[in-house]
Amino acid sequence: MIFPERFSNLPTYAFPRLRELLDAHAPGGDVVHMTIGEPQHDFPAFVPEIIARHVAEFRRYPDNNGIPELLSAITGWIARRYGVTLPTSQVMALNGTREGLYNAAMALCPEQKAGAKPLVLMPNPFYQVYAVAALSVAADPVYVAATAETGFMPDFAGLPEEVLQRTAITYICSPANPQGTVASRDYWRDLLALAEKHDFQIFADECYSEIYRDAAPIGILTVAAEVGADPERVVLFNSLSKRSNLAGLRSGLVAGGPKSIARIRQLRAFSGAPLPKPLQYVAAAAWADEDHVVENRRLYAGKFDIADEIFAGVPGYTSPPAGFFLWLPVKDGEQAAVRLWTETGVRVLPGAYLSRDVNGENPGKNYIRVALVAPIKETQRALIQIRDCLYVRGE
């Protein structure tokens, strides 16, 4: 058999890699899972009733792009959240945002840029689908460090001119996964100007936009409207997984210019897997309701207050303004994860598993990612164990 080489250099995905690292060892206490961003808060109470009301729809093929009720709910939420009015033809429902982040590259990345193989920029560390999407369209991924020195946001403008000229797509996550950093209005303005100058598209992954502590993160659609950017310049992604604690619903959205969304819809017609219709009714109700989102945000804010108290005085600790991860500095992420597991039973993710080596450096190597998704008392106990194990007794 001959197999493709384009994925041959991919490392093992983060969670199988974590199992290889930890599962040979017995846990050192009651197990607490803080690795995956799978919310454990209650989802909206209306979910079961809506599924039951529309259960007969499971026998029918679902609408590819989204039922009218869902598309209207999405555009209504975008108008309320970002102050931008879009027709329903400029949005599409996704079977999970990861599907959209991948397929948008398939639909929109050109075969060449500036007479050469296209480049796809992304922060480093990053959500791993960005790199696989780039490789799938025969583009080269470019990993741009997002470290403490850069304010945990990638400095795309600092790249060489020849790199920017070949860039077709730039992935950017705000609030950032894993650091929780939020792109400012100036950051979005500068990135939009850079994209205009070098003619590339911005894929804005804002899946954590509704989990914040103080001010709501400004979104790229808001800034794009302020500066009068070309509607095709931006493709926005968001999700109900974090906002509404519905990771298993697999419901997200993509929004963008009319030409971009038409191409994404065309690809979906041939190869996509739309959300089952009863679940689309659930998604419509979730996008239209804010009360459960406010309560969800309150719960996460309480966990971050606890984290700030527990890690006060820990050198390098940064209290993130948004998202639900802690990006904790350690000497070595893998060693810290093994020690935590074997001494306490707390399971965390080494930061290097979310990053790539560039010039012999991995920006995630000296970090662990800690997901604050467990119930508050369990989270508090686990954070104390992390502090005592790694920072009081020392690595």
Which pLDDT tens digit goes with each residue over 269-281? 998 789 999 999 9
93 Cβ neighbours under 8 A, 6+ residues apart: 65, 66, 70, 71, 74, 251, 252, 253, 274, 275, 280, 283
Distance of CA 348 to the CA centre of its chain: 18
- pLDDT for 395 equals 56
Tokens of 324: 């639900």
Tokens of 87: 């027709």
DSSP 8-state secondary structure symbol assigned to residue 116: B
List the alpha helices (DSSP H) in the chain. 14-22, 47-53, 68-82, 97-108, 129-136, 161-166, 185-198, 220-227, 240-243, 258-271, 277-288, 291-310, 333-344, 376-386
Bridge-based pairing of strands 325-329 and 252-256 is unpaired
The torsion of the CA quartet 206, 212, 215, 216, rounded to 10 degrees, works out to: 30
Is 3.30.43.10 the CATH classification of the domain at 14-42+292-392? no
- pLDDT for 356 equals 95
Is 1.10.10.10 the CATH classification of the domain at 60-289? no
DSSP 8-state secondary structure symbol assigned to residue 211: -
Domains 14-42+292-392 and 60-289 belong to one CATH topology: no
Specify the pTM.
0.96
Q: Which of 329, 306, 346 is nearest to 391 (CA)?
A: 329
- pLDDT for 318 equals 92
51 burial class (0-12, 13-18, 19+ CB within 10 angstroms)?
A: middle
Residue by residue, pLDDT tens for the chain (395 residues) are 888 888 887 888 999 999 999 999 999 999 999 999 999 999 999 999 999 999 999 999 999 999 999 999 999 999 999 999 999 999 999 999 999 999 999 999 999 999 999 999 999 999 999 999 999 999 999 999 999 999 999 999 999 999 999 999 999 999 999 999 999 999 999 999 999 999 999 999 999 999 999 999 999 999 999 999 999 999 999 999 999 999 999 999 999 999 999 999 999 999 878 999 999 999 999 999 999 999 999 999 999 999 999 999 899 999 999 999 999 999 999 999 999 999 999 999 999 999 999 999 999 999 999 999 999 999 999 999 999 999 987 65
Annotated domain spans of the chain: 14-42+292-392, 60-289
Distance of CA 395 to the CA centre of its chain: 30
